[in-house]
Amino acid sequence: MAVTNSTTRVTVRCAFCDKLNRVDVARAADRPTCGECGRPILLDRPVKVSDDDFAATVEGAEVPVLVDFYADWCGPCRMVAPFVDELARQHMGRLLVAKVDTDRAPNVSMRFGIRSIPTLVVIRDGKEVDRSVGFEPERLKSMIAGVVA
Ligand SMILES: [Zn+2]
């Protein structure tokens, strides 16, 4: 599959001070740090995204994004979470993994028509290209294999 973008920047929220940072995921191994607080921007694990930063982080990403729509009270979401974490580790530098707590992000959850969780949506260039509903780790793996080079 052709690489559609030659740049691989994403905007992610610092896990420590909440400041949005623009970082190049291809340089994740160089351990990028937050421009505000200087602590590490962690790209080997999912980043939390909500209504206010979804557009910047997910739709503005220059790499494919896997979005995990979940809720804390959802058992199947907890079952799929380790697979989502593993995909973030495995594809660091080529994929951004985002988690959306559907209880705290009603607008984006409604916009994507999330009726059942977990729902995992693959977004490339701001558009949905695939989704998986429920606990489907094998399907999840093949969805990601389809978008990461
Ligand atoms: Zn920070």
Question: What are the extents of the domains in the chain?
Answer: 45-145
Task: Tell me whether residue 74 is one of the annotated catalytic residues.
Answer: yes
pLDDT digits (tens, 9 = 90+) for 20-55: 999 999 998 899 999 999 999 999 999 999 999 999
Q: Which pLDDT value is given to residue 29?
A: 87
Long-range pairs of 107-114 with CB within 8 A, sequence gap ≥ 24: 107/51, 108/49, 108/50, 108/51, 108/54, 109/69, 112/69, 114/69
Give the Å distance between the CA of 18 and the centre of ligand 1. 6
DSSP code, position 55: I
Report the Cα 54 to chain-centroid distance in Å.
10
Q: How confident is the model at residue 149 (pLDDT cuts 50, 70, 90)?
A: confident
pLDDT of residue 126: 94
Say how far apart CA 94 and CA 53 lie, in whole Å. Answer: 20
Q: Among the options 14, 17, 34, 77, which is catalytic? A: 77
Ligand 1 (single-atom ion) residues, CB below 5 Å: 14, 16-17, 19, 34, 36-37
- Would the pLDDT of 4 be above 70? no
Ligand 1 centroid distance, CA of 37 (Å):
4
Cis peptide upstream of residue 118 (ω within 30 degrees of 0):
yes
pLDDT attached to residue 5: 52
Please provide the CATH number assigned to the domain covering 45-145: 3.40.30.10
Residue 77's pLDDT is what? 97
Determine the Cα–Cα distance for residues 46 and 77; give it in Å rounded to an integer: 14
For residue 53, the SS3 value is coil
- Residue-by-residue DSSP string for 105-149: -HHHHHHTT--SSSEEEEEETTEEEEEEESS-HHHHHHHHHTT--
Q: Is the pLDDT of residue 3 over 70?
A: no
Distance from residue 70's CA to the centre of ligand 1 (Å):
25
- pLDDT digits 0-9 by tens, 99-133: 999 999 999 999 999 999 999 999 999 999 999 99
Which residues, in sequence order, are CB contacts of 109 under 8 Å at separation 6+?
A: 69, 100, 102
Residue 146 pLDDT greater than 80, yes or no: yes
Q: What percent of the chain has pLDDT over 90?
A: 91
Identify whether 14 is a catalytic site residue: no
